[in-house]
Amino acid sequence: MGVVGSGTMGAGIAQIAAQGGMEAVLHDSDGAALEAGLERARAGLERSAEKGRLSGEAAASAIARLRAAPGMEALGGCRLVIEAAPERLDLKRELFAGLEAICDPGAVLATNTSSLSVTAIAAEAERPERIVGMHFFNPPPAMKLVEIVAGDESSEDALAAATEAGEAMGRTPIRARDAIGFVANRCARPFTLESLRMLGEGVAEHEEIDRVCRIGGGFRMGPFELMDLIGVEVNFAVAQSFWEQSFGEPRWRPHPLQQRMVASGRLGRKTGRGFYDYGGDGPHRAPDPELEAERPIFDEDELEAAAGPRAPEILGRIGAQIANEACFALGEGVASAEDIDTAMKLGFNWPLGPLAWGERLGWSRALGTLEELRELHGDGYRAARLLRERAGA
Ligand code: NAD
């Protein structure tokens, strides 16, 4: 298999391909980036062996299957090529035209795009039926999810081959339609957006919202810590892209607080300050006291006892909105119910999938929360038809 672009994603994708028994040819137009990517893939395999996740022998043979190619022609013999170049439509179209010229007509050509349409990338191709999305998560060796995205023209045969390759790479493939943000990034939107709204409304401070999500929700990280980790500007750009691509869907309206943070240079860990301060010697927040309850907690009294008096409201709002977004995605046929829940558990390490969350929270409780908020704040809280049906409304 071939990988085009040996940056953050490409190097990790080549690593798991080699680990999965494939001959992996890594290509990058920048020689230094190519060498660095190959080195990262090798180092990743060595580290897995040191940690005992892989035998020394398996790591050595995987390393032997990794190769760097300064010219794209070297990918001519590949049955599958995954493109992981920068997120630009014109560049990706050009790369796919080049790949079609050198690869066998039966080869599967995949894009790792996270926000562009697979159909649009394939639009000018000679064989759009051979082009699919294979959307991996960062860092690929640690994240088990791969979304197999069907463009309008993708053939079932190409999708099946991509699914099989994803499995061979040790991932769990799910099937997604070529819709805005596919599955995982879309269903994750309300986690940060709803939290920003609550912060903006003065429901609670960011530390408290984060703590409630960890202690009561069982999320490994609260939404504000998460934004600081990935970069506040990155999260804001994703929010804007959803908003623009949907022509202003009210659920996806970005929050002015994000823009203000970006304008003031508070981008998170990378700038030493985001929602939290990372400048000092100590950790950015106090450790959580150990609690033995099972998480997430849905019983309101238990939740209050564990995470404080505002916890039911905070987690109730986040829970209603994540379940609602998943119902919209399911209703629009973006993925199956099972795949939606799998995507969130494997792509974002959520303790429960959003549909299972709605079930545990209670659909009528979720609907009640949404209706109350819609009354106060408008259509950003419009309930999905499927959620209404599940609530028996
Ligand atoms: P990156 O900038 O780290 O790497 C891109 C690489 O492509 C660079 O090494 C660059 O030299 C190379 N490149 C540029 N032009 C090229 C060309 N014409 N031919 C060959 N190589 C070329 O980017 P990334 O973060 O790895 O993202 C790559 C793709 O993966 C994007 O489409 C992005 O949306 C998607 N993605 C990123 C993440 C993430 O968290 N970073 C997660 C999922 C998907």
pLDDT in tens, 2-17: 999 999 999 999 999 9
**pLDDT tens-digit series, residues 253-268:** 999 999 999 999 999 9
145 beta partners: 172
Q: CA quadruple 339, 332, 351, 254: dihedral positive or negative?
A: positive
**How much distance in Å is there from the Cα of 92 to the middle of ligand 1?**
10
Q: Give the residue whose CA is nearest to atom 18 of ligand 1.
A: 29
In this predicted structure, what is the pLDDT of residue 373? Answer: 98
DSSP state of 292: -
Distance 310 CA to ligand 1 centre (A): 41
Is the C-alpha dihedral spanning 97, 98, 104, 109 positive or negative? negative
Two structure tokens written together for 358: 């709605």
Tell me: the pLDDT tens digits for 69-82?
999 999 999 999 99
Query: Residue 283's pLDDT is what?
Result: 85
- As a whole number of angstroms, the distance between CA 110 and CA 158 comes to 9
Phi-psi domain of 307 (left: phi exceeds 0; alpha: psi -120 through 50; beta: other): alpha
If one compares 324 and 282, the residue with the highest pLDDT of the two is: 324
Q: Pick the atom of ligand 1 nearest to 33's CA.
A: 9
Q: How far, in Å, from the CA of 118 to the mean position of ligand 1?
A: 16
Across 185-213, average pLDDT:
98
Two tokens at 239? Answer: 């929010």
* Among 41, 43, 8, 44, residue whose Cα is nearest residue 25: 41
Ligand 1 atom with minimal separation from the 94 CA: 18
Calculate mean pLDDT across residues 17-36: 98
Average pLDDT of the residues in 182-210: 98
Which uninterrupted H or E stretch holds 82?
Answer: strand 80-83
Percent of the chain with pLDDT over 90: 95
Q: What ligand 1 atom has the least distance to the C-alpha of 136?
A: 43
Q: How confident is the model at residue 291 (pLDDT cuts 50, 70, 90)?
A: low
Q: Is 380 in the pocket of ligand 1 (CB under 6 A)?
A: no
Rg for the chain, CA atoms, rounded: 22
- Residue 7, ligand 1, Cβ within 6 A: yes
* Entry pTM: 0.96
What is the whole-number distance in angstroms between the Cα of residue 11 and the centre of ligand 1? 10
206-226 per-position pLDDT tens digit: 999 999 999 999 999 999 999
Cβ–ligand 1 contact at 35 (below 6 Å): no
Indicate whether residue 166 lines ligand 1 (CB < 6 A). Answer: no
Kindly tell me if the per-residue pLDDT of 290 is higher than 70.
no
Pocket test for ligand 1, best of 4, 6, 8, 73 (most atoms within 8 A of CB): 8
Q: Which residues contact 388 (CB under 8 A, 6 or more apart)?
A: 367
5 in contact with ligand 1, CB cutoff 6 A: yes
| Segment among 17-21, 198-202, 302-306, 381-385 with least mean pLDDT | 302-306
Q: Is the CB of 264 under 6 A from ligand 1?
A: no
Look at ligand 1, atom 14, and give the residue with the nearest C-alpha.
85
Q: Residue 322: what pLDDT?
A: 98
Decide: 29 in ligand 1 pocket, CB within 6 A. yes
Residue 289 has pLDDT above 90, yes or no: no
Ligand 1 mean position, distance from CA 39 (Å): 16
Q: Answer whether 18's CB lies under 8 Å from 41's CB.
A: yes
Distance from the CA of 136 to the center of ligand 1, in angstroms?
A: 12
Residue 147 CB less than 6 A away from ligand 1? no
Model confidence at 295, pLDDT cuts 50, 70, 90, reads: confident
- Which amino acid is it at 194? E
Cβ-proximal residues to 299 (8 Å cutoff; 6+ apart), any chain: none
Cα 133 to averaged position of ligand 1 atoms, centre (Å) = 14
CB-CB neighbours of 67 under 10 Å: 15
Reported as type and span, the H/E element at residue 10 is helix 8-19
* Catalytic residue list: 114, 135, 147, 185
Residue of 4, 9, 148, 230 best suited for mutating to test ligand 1, as the one with most atoms within 8 Å of CB: 9
Average predicted confidence (pLDDT) for the chain: 96
- Residue 10 alpha carbon to ligand 1 centre in Å: 7
* Whether residue 178 has its Cβ less than 6 Å from ligand 1: no
How does pLDDT run across 302-354, given as a tens digit for each residue? 999 999 999 999 999 999 999 999 999 999 999 999 999 999 999 999 999 99
Give the pairing type, strands 2-4 and 172-177. unpaired
Rounded distance between C-alpha atoms, residue 136 and residue 84, angstroms: 10
As a dihedral over the C-alpha atoms of residue 9, residue 12, residue 16, residue 17, rounded to 10 degrees, the angle is 60
Please tell me if the CB atom of residue 112 comes closer than 6 angstroms to any atom of ligand 1: yes
What count of residues does the chain have? 393
Torsion, CA 172, CA 177, CA 178, CA 179, rounded to 10: -110
The single-letter code of the amino acid at 15 is: Q
Ligand 1: does its nearest atom lie under 6 Å from the Cβ of 185?
A: no
